[in-house]
């Protein structure tokens, strides 16, 4: 064991979501001032940051870790698999939503975020402490503990031994925000449920105790009843937090504006607030140290002890790897995992493994568990949390220029070595349809899929009326990274049409407004039945769409093309009124055999906030579009827009009046 062999203070760090980054600022000032710390106790965010400091990370290293984290990716749900059996061509540009089922019983989430990606981050950051029992609570650079609440017994639980990652994951499981951490006998929730800052527990280890708590800055003015209610809530919550740390010898509060606790990207600003608070209270800290006879320490000496401690901390070597709770062939998984027997397990290797496993979309979560320890190696188990087999998917699309569309589908899938599924669904509105589809998909590594389906649809075609299609199709796809390629053959029963096609595009799921990236896609199709009433060739797609974000300003530039030859069936034709990808022209029922559209969109993000899996973005945009046809070039259209995500809500002001759409993806 290697401790700082001095008589110092006990430090209690409270919870506070992103505002808790202020603890780093406090630790930074305490180190600069030579405040000796003998023990750290933390709750929620205080447990996360206190654990890092106890493991020998300096405040500067902790700030660097926060800067390296992709906060958007950390809180997003695992992406859905590119499931061909769910594919409905007419909903490709439509936002749809999913509810999981177990048979016919809906599965409600325990929290907004399941917490697996955060747990995976802890496992990587806390290496090798998370995989080595000789480097745990009682043998850290500074002794450490954290608290959580067992929801079954209703009692506070103090973690002072066992696995470090599971303890910290339990301590930050805010009810409704994160899924509780389950063990065989307990269901753990955030320690703040009963004790937001464990000052009393720290006092049993060491005195004097300094408690650092996160409070909300009261409003400066009260202008209306809403302000009065808000101020009352702020004052009450602050008082509760202050009363909870009466056992502390000194309380250092850090005040933050209301509604900033989810702004994780503002961590540097929050750290600075912690520094300012610590410096303001330093005279009181000095008085406390003198009263208790605690001597300051030299920062250089602390750094030297930290370096000496880190010399004995080594990444473990994998001895054996086991897989748990999955029907996937272990040989396939072993190829997919980024390490094998004899390899040194490092944070980068773990991160690569997690990314590969989540990319399949087959798992809700992955948990790494040490199984057996040896002198320099470890046996590890990867425990998989599979996605529920059943799902209900629905979507609503409303548009000023169309009757709207409602889609509903129910499917059952499994996640064995071969990902299979069957889905039934239909739509009503602009397209009335019924369909069923069955597929086999090898989603691992190469993402190869085969599917077949039957579909009846009735669609309103501009200038033609209702057009009914009863068809079957077979599709094969290949997915690699973000690129997606699909070949298909379609047979219409009510018309003598047999066609084949190929589609290549990148797959990004539901992309919010104002995001960096590129979109490409090409769709080729032709008639392969010479005696068909229709004989045609068709090509269309996005040439290249580029997105760029600079602070609050966003620019998008792209083009779309449509080229056809021969007698194209009405349901395959595209009219100018159908184009809402990059421009908003008035409805025109004129059919052109070829055209090209070019669009530039400039946006200013007036609101960009996020909370766990969810984000809210509002942008003021200006769309400039033009279209080239064989006979004319349409004039440039300038359309001011208001765009809101999520919900894909869009208002546009065109020459024909107000344009409105809901549920149509921002491509």
Name all domains of the chain by residue range, CATH numbers in brackets.
11-78+113-312 (3.40.1090.10), 81-110+389-480 (no CATH), 317-386 (3.10.20.310)
Which of the four pLDDT bands, split at 50, 70 and 90, describes residue 241?
very high
Residue 140 sits at the vertex; the CA angle it makes with 210 and 17, to the nearest 5 degrees, is 50
Helix pair angle (164-171, 116-125), 10° resolution: 140
Question: What token pair was written down for 65?
Answer: 């870790």
Q: 466 with 458: CB under 8 angstroms?
A: yes
Report CA dihedral (479, 485, 489, 490) to the nearest 10 degrees. 100
Q: 340 with 353: CB under 8 angstroms?
A: no
| CA–CA dist 329, 8 (Å, integer) | 54
Of 316, 321, 336, 327, nearest in space to 369 by CA: 321
Asked if the model's pLDDT at residue 87 lies above 60, the reply is yes
Cα distances from 339 to residues 226, 342, 373, 444, 526, in angstroms, run 55, 8, 17, 17, 46
CA 344 to chain centre: 28
Q: Label residues 26-53 b or e (16+ Cβ within 10 Å = b).
A: bbbbbbebbbbbbbbbbbbbbbbbbbbb
The percent of residues above 70 in pLDDT, for the chain, comes to 88
Q: 281 with 250: CB under 8 angstroms?
A: yes
CA 601 to chain centre: 26
Asked if the model's pLDDT at residue 1 lies above 70, the reply is no
Which pLDDT belongs to residue 22? 96
| CA–CA dist 623, 544 (Å, integer) | 17
Asked if the model's pLDDT at residue 578 lies above 60, the reply is no
Mean pLDDT in residue range 381-386: 90
Q: 409 with 423: CB under 8 angstroms?
A: yes
**β-bridge partners, 591:** 575
Q: 80 with 366: CB under 8 angstroms?
A: no
Which pLDDT belongs to residue 438? 87
Question: What token pair was written down for 435?
Answer: 């369909």
Report CA dihedral (196, 122, 611, 109) to the nearest 10 degrees. -90
Question: What token pair was written down for 2?
Answer: 């290697």
| CA–CA dist 106, 129 (Å, integer) | 39
pTM: 0.81
Mean pLDDT in residue range 473-495: 81
pLDDT tens digit string along 579-606? 444 344 544 556 778 888 888 889 999 9
Helix pair angle (267-280, 282-292), 10° resolution: 50
Least trusted range by pLDDT, from 323-327, 537-541, 568-572: 568-572
Of 485, 477, 480, 487, nearest in space to 521 by CA: 485
Which pLDDT belongs to residue 584? 47
- Residue 344 per-residue DSSP state: B
Which pLDDT belongs to residue 4? 41
Of 205, 208, 227, 206, nearest in space to 218 by CA: 227
The percent of residues above 90 in pLDDT, for the chain, comes to 34
Asked if the model's pLDDT at residue 110 lies above 70, the reply is yes
How would you class 337 by CB atoms within 10 Å of its CB: exposed for 0-12, middle for 13-18, buried for 19 or more? Answer: buried
Which pLDDT belongs to residue 417? 57
Which pLDDT belongs to residue 258? 87
| CA–CA dist 294, 10 (Å, integer) | 11
CA 91 to chain centre: 23
Catalytic machinery residues: 44, 190
Of 458, 462, 442, nearest in space to 450 by CA: 442
181-182/176-178 β-pairing: unpaired
């Amino acid at each position: 064991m290697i401790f700082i062999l001095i008589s110092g203070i006990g430090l209690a760090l409270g919870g506070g979501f992103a505002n808790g980054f202020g603890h780093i600022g406090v630790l930074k000032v305490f180190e600069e001032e030579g405040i000796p710390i003998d023990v750290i106790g933390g709750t929620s965010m205080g447990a996360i940051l206190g654990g890092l400091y106890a493991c020998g990370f300096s405040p500067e290293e902790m700030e660097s870790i926060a800067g390296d984290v992709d906060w958007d990716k950390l809180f997003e749900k695992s992406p859905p698999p590119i499931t061909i059996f769910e594919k409905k061509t007419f909903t490709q540009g439509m936002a749809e939503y999913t509810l999981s089922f177990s048979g016919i019983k809906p599965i409600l989430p325990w929290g907004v975020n399941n917490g697996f990606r955060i747990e995976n981050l802890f496992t990587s950051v806390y290496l090798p402490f998370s995989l080595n029992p000789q480097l745990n609570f009682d043998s850290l650079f500074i002794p450490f503990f954290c608290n959580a609440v067992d929801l079954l017994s209703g009692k506070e639980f103090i973690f002072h031994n066992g696995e470090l990652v599971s303890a910290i994951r339990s301590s930050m499981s805010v009810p409704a925000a994160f899924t509780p951490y389950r063990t065989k006998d307990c269901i753990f929730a955030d320690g703040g449920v009963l004790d937001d800052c464990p000052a009393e527990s720290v006092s049993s280890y060491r005195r004097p105790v300094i408690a650092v708590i996160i409070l909300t800055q009261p409003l400066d003015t009260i202008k209306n009843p809403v302000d009065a209610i808000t101020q009352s809530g702020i004052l009450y919550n602050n008082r509760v937090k202050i009363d909870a740390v009466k056992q502390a010898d000194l309380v250092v509060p850090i005040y933050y504006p209301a509604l900033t606790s989810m702004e994780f990207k503002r961590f540097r600003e929050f750290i600075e607030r912690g520094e300012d608070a610590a410096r303001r209270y330093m005279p009181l800290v000095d008085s406390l140290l003198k009263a208790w006879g605690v001597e300051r320490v030299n920062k250089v000496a602390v750094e030297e002890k930290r370096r000496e401690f880190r010399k004995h901390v080594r990444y473990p070597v994998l001895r054996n790897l086991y897989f748990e709770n999955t029907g996937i062939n272990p040989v396939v998984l072993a190829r997919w995992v980024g390490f094998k027997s004899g390899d040194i397990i490092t944070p980068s290797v773990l991160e690569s493994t997690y990314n590969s496993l989540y990319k399949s979309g087959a798992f809700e979560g992955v948990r790494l568990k040490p199984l057996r320890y040896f002198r320099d190696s470890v046996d590890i188990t990867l425990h998989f949390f599979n996605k529920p087999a059943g799902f209900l998917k629905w979507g609503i699309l409303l548009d000023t220029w169309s009757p709207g569309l409602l889609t509903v589908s129910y499917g059952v899938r499994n996640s064995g070595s071969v990902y299979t599924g069957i889905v039934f669904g239909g739509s009503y509105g602009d397209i009335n349809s019924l369909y069923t589809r069955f597929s086999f998909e090898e989603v691992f590594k190469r993402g190869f899929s085969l599917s077949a389906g039957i579909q009846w649809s009735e669609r309103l075609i501009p200038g033609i009326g209702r057009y009914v299609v009863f068809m079957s199709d077979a599709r094969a796809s290949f997915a690699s990274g973000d690129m997606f390629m699909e070949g298909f053959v379609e047979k219409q029963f009510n018309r003598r049409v047999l066609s084949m096609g190929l589609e290549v595009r990148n797959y990004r799921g539901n992309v919010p407004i104002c995001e960096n990236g590129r979109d490409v896609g090409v769709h080729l199709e032709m008639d392969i039945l010479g005696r068909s009433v229709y004989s045609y060739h068709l090509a269309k797609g996005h040439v290249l769409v580029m997105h760029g974000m600079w602070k609050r300003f966003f620019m998008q530039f792209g083009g779309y093309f449509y080229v056809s030859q021969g007698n194209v069936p009405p349901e395959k034709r595209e009219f100018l009124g159908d184009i809402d990808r990059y421009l908003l022209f008035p409805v025109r029922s004129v059919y052109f055999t070829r055209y090209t559209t070019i669009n530039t969109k400039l946006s200013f993000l007036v609101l960009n906030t996020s909370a766990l899996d969810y984000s809210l973005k509002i942008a003021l945009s200006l769309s400039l579009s033009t279209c080239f046809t064989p006979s004319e070039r349409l004039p440039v259209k300038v359309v001011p827009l208001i765009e809101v995500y999520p919900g894909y809500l869009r208002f546009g002001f065109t020459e024909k009046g107000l344009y409105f759409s809901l549920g149509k993806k921002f491509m």
